[in-house]
């Protein structure tokens, strides 16, 4: 059984800072601008042998006027419902405000265990110059209250001790939690990557058949990388929604820079990237840039052409033309699966996860050396590299032997008499032949040449 702790409060009281301290990494973006966190962000914390889930939430709005504020509140409601303990954060430097009172009345309706956490007690003087403010917090009527500084960590140890006490009273066994965590770590990670507003969060919501993440018509709604465990007929994995990746020249805010940095870090630890493309815009330079980043990190990839409900199958020629153009641009990594979908209408999305698992299995494929040489050496003989022609040399380049290296992703080494003179175009030719004959669909690979 997995116990869940959610952190709630009004904007800018330090929820994301406390969340990052609990999980031991900077997963949630912390910024002086209020309203940065919008979706629920999940993480895992361990304290005294207990592993539990932590949820960071957006700032609560009493009377949400904007659509995005209403959606943030909906995410807070969901996090409270699925939590065992709620940490209600308040700011000692601001003191008690009307919104704190309203949040108190609201969360008591859920009949959850509530800890009042007075944050920003950064030094001993904090309590002195805000004596009246911290006394006011008793007016809220909570039995459990704690003074902490999420920024420097003071007081968080006592808070975590009491959380663990709650788990012990509920007879949570460390062995069960450790087993669950070990299983979770073994799950493949599948990340949804793409430009802003291509439908990444919509796809995630369609997978779960509920509004897991906030979706709006405005680009840049998702700002954090959000991972959720997903189970589809035996295909257990972690799905990750990511912020849209803009061109560097278009990144105008610090928040966009932080979000893009998180996406790059997510790609590093991803097994399969789902690169989403807007069918109405087509494959443009930014899509190619993102694809190159995925390829540079040697990650498996599936290309998803979203918003295909505007075309469907009524124009077969457009579909084939779309595919041909993309495969030409990404050559020699041209056997990437291309799936035409509508994230909104759930058209074609049933194929995605099974194909992702098929790619993961292909990535683990190890070719026997004798079979590899049996297929590849006749190809080298029929289509040899361009001969070396200069004042000193005028000889044929030959490749006599090849083998696959033991590595996380497929790497092949080819032994030649003049490896330094083999051109990049011939390297692409070899990669294309390996993909064609050995079916490494959607799997990145490296080609190396060594002296015979």
Say whether pLDDT at 253 is over 70. no
Say whether pLDDT at 391 is over 70. no
Query: What are 33-49's pLDDT values in tens digits?
Result: 444 444 457 777 888 87
CA 186 and chain centroid, separation: 16
Residue range 2-19: average pLDDT?
A: 86
Say whether pLDDT at 312 is over 70. no
pTM of the model: 0.59
Residue range 111-138: average pLDDT?
A: 71
pLDDT score at 258: 47
Pick the CATH number of 4-182 from 3.40.50.800, 3.30.70.20, 3.40.50.300, 3.20.20.140: 3.40.50.300
CB distance 305 to 321 below 8 Å: no
Query: What are 418-429's pLDDT values in tens digits?
Result: 888 888 889 989
pLDDT score at 135: 54
Strand order of the β-sheet with 300-306 is 226-232, 235-241, 189-194, 272-278, 300-306, 338-340
Residue percentage of the chain with pLDDT more than 70: 77
pLDDT score at 107: 86
CATH code for the structural domain at 187-363: 3.40.50.300
Greatest mean pLDDT among 54-63, 148-157, 236-245: 148-157
Say whether pLDDT at 279 is over 60. yes
pLDDT score at 277: 92
Query: d(Cα 16, Cα 116) in Å, to the nearest integer?
Result: 16
On the question of a common fold for 4-182 and 369-451, the answer reads no
**Domain locations in the chain as residue ranges:** 4-182, 187-363, 369-451
Higher pLDDT, 303 or 233: 303
Mean pLDDT of the chain: 79
- What is the CATH class of 369-451? alpha beta
Confidence band, pLDDT 50/70/90 cuts, at residue 62 = low
Query: What are 15-30's pLDDT values in tens digits?
Result: 888 998 888 876 554 4
Say whether pLDDT at 305 is over 70. yes
């Amino acid at each position: 059984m997995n116990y869940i702790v959610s952190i709630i409060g009004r904007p800018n009281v330090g929820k994301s800072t406390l969340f990052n301290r609990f999980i031991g990494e900077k997963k949630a973006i912390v910024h002086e601008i209020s309203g940065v966190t919008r979706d629920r962000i999940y993480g895992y914390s361990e304290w005294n042998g207990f592993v539990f889930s932590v949820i960071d939430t957006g700032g609560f709005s009493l009377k949400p006027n904007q659509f995005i504020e209403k959606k943030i509140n909906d995410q807070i409601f969901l996090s409270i419902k699925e939590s065992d303990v709620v940490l209600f954060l308040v700011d000692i430097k601001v003191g008690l405000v009307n919104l704190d009172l309203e949040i108190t009345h609201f969360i008591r309706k859920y009949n959850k265990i509530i800890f009042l956490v007075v944050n920003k007690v950064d030094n001993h003087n904090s309590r002195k110059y805000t004596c009246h403010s911290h006394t006011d917090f008793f007016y809220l009527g909570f039995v459990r209250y704690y003074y902490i500084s999420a920024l420097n960590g003071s007081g968080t140890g006592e808070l975590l001790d009491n959380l663990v006490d709650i788990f012990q009273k509920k007879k949570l066994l460390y062995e069960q939690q450790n087993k669950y965590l070990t299983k979770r770590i073994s799950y493949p990670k599948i990340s949804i990557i793409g430009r802003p507003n291509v439908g990444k969060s919509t796809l995630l919501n369609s997978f779960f058949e509920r509004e897991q993440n906030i979706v709006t018509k405005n680009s840049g709604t998702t700002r954090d990388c959000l991972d959720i465990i997903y189970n589809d007929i035996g295909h257990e994995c972690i799905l990750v929604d990511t912020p849209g990746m803009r061109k560097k020249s278009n990144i105008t805010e610090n928040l966009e820079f932080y979000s893009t940095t998180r996406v790059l870090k997510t790609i590093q630890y991803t097994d399969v990237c789902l690169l989403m493309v807007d069918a109405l815009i087509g494959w443009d330079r930014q899509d190619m840039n993102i694809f190159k980043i995925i390829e540079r990190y040697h990650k498996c990839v599936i290309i998803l052409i979203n918003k295909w409900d505007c075309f469907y199958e009524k124009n077969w020629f457009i579909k084939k033309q779309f595919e041909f153009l993309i495969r030409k641009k990404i050559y020699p990594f041209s056997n990437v699966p291309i799936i035409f979908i509508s994230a909104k209408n759930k058209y074609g999305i049933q194929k995605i996860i099974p194909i992702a698992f098929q790619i993961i299995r292909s990535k683990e494929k190890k070719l026997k050396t004798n079979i590899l040489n049996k297929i590849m050496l006749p190809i080298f003989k029929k289509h040899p590299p361009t001969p070396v022609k200069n004042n000193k040399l005028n000889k044929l380049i030959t490749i006599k032997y090849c083998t696959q290296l033991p590595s996380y992703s497929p790497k092949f080494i080819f032994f030649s008499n003049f490896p330094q003179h083999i051109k990049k175009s011939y390297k692409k030719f070899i990669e294309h032949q390996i993909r064609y004959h050995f079916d490494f669909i959607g799997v990145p690979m490296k080609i190396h040449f060594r002296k015979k």
